[in-house]
Amino acid sequence: MSGFRINSSLLLKDGKCFQSYGWNMYRPLGSLQTAVNLLEEYNIDEISIICPVRTQQDKADIFSNLTALRNLRTMTPIGFGGGVRTIKDIDLLKKLPIERLMFSSTFIGMDDEFIAEVINRYGRQAIQAILPFKTGPQGISVYYSAENRFLPLTKKLLNFCDEFANEIVFYDTQHEGYIDQFDVTAIKNIQIDNQKILITGGIGHQSILQAKKLNFAAAIIDNRILHKEYSVEAWR
């Protein structure tokens, strides 16, 4: 319903930003404030800060990231996700400078009671479902971190996301950190209004052109944008 957005993701771990490749390798990028400042300077449309939660240890660590978020000074819209699964977790996010909340396990586990409570507190416009996916002979499957395994992407799950989320982020886990590798063919026929779809994982200039052509809402460039943040304006 609005112009195509070019967003960026930042992975936050132990209060610092990291670059990630292929879902499991990390390389330090520096402080959150520095990374956000660089992106803001080039008018990035939104920044999604994600705490990667792939183990129970990661879940315990996300709360050390909240201090970095609390101290963040920015006038760019911020989304936050990773490890937020209970009302107690939500309470910890009060007064943080974030506009969007991104949930993965909550949606994949179809926890409607929890989502309804989050909508009461933040409004549906603030909710993004994030679906980390991979493709294989069986079709598309999504990573359910609460059980540390991939599950098939079903029509029921898509309908659930469509009902409760303002937007849906498709996160290509097989191509994260690489250029122009996002698997558009995997999702281009999904039965969701394209204006609700954001893509991330392997985004490059060609992926952005494809996403615009398909009338998607946005592309979230992987955190490696920090090596060429000046390209945002040209890609717009």
Partner 1 sequence: MSVDIIDLGSGNIRSIHNALLNLNVSTNFVKKPHEIQANTVILAGVGAAGPYMKKLIAADFKNALRDHVAAGKTIIGICLGFQILSNATEENGGVEGLGIINGRCERLNHNDKLFSHNGWEKLDLDKANLLNVDFRNEENLSRKQKIKGRVFYNHEYGMVLNQPQPLHYDMSIPTLDKYTAFYAEKNVLGIQFHPEKSQFTGQALFAMVL
Tell me which residues touch partner 1 (CB under 8 A). Answer: 1-3, 5, 40, 43, 45, 70, 73-78, 94-100, 119-126, 166-167, 195-196, 217-218
Question: What are the tokens at 96?
Answer: 């943080």
Q: How far is the CB of 94 from partner 1 (least distance, A)?
A: 7
Q: How far is the CB of 185 from partner 1 (least distance, A)?
A: 25
For residue 236, what are the CA distances in angstroms to 44, 45, 47, 48, 77? 10, 10, 15, 18, 17
CB-neighbour burial class of residue 122 (10 A; exposed 0-12, middle 13-18, buried 19+):
middle
Q: How far is the CB of 26 from partner 1 (least distance, A)?
A: 28
Q: How far is the CB of 236 from partner 1 (least distance, A)?
A: 10
* Cβ–Cβ < 8 Å for 68, 56: no
Question: What are the tokens at 115?
Answer: 């989502």
Between CA 122 and CA 76 the distance in angstroms is 18
Instruction: Identify the CA nearest to 145 among candidates 39, 5, 36, 51.
Output: 51
Considering beta carbons, is residue 65 or 173 the nearer one to partner 1? 65
Considering beta carbons, is residue 31 or 74 the nearer one to partner 1? 74
Considering beta carbons, is residue 39 or 140 the nearer one to partner 1? 39
Q: How far is the CB of 16 from partner 1 (least distance, A)?
A: 21
Residue type (1 letter), 179? I
* Cβ–Cβ < 8 Å for 79, 47: yes
Considering beta carbons, is residue 178 or 235 the nearer one to partner 1? 235
Considering beta carbons, is residue 76 or 173 the nearer one to partner 1? 76
Considering beta carbons, is residue 42 or 144 the nearer one to partner 1? 42
Q: How far is the CB of 130 from partner 1 (least distance, A)?
A: 15
For the chain, what is the largest distance between any 2 Cα atoms, rounded to a whole number of angstroms? 45
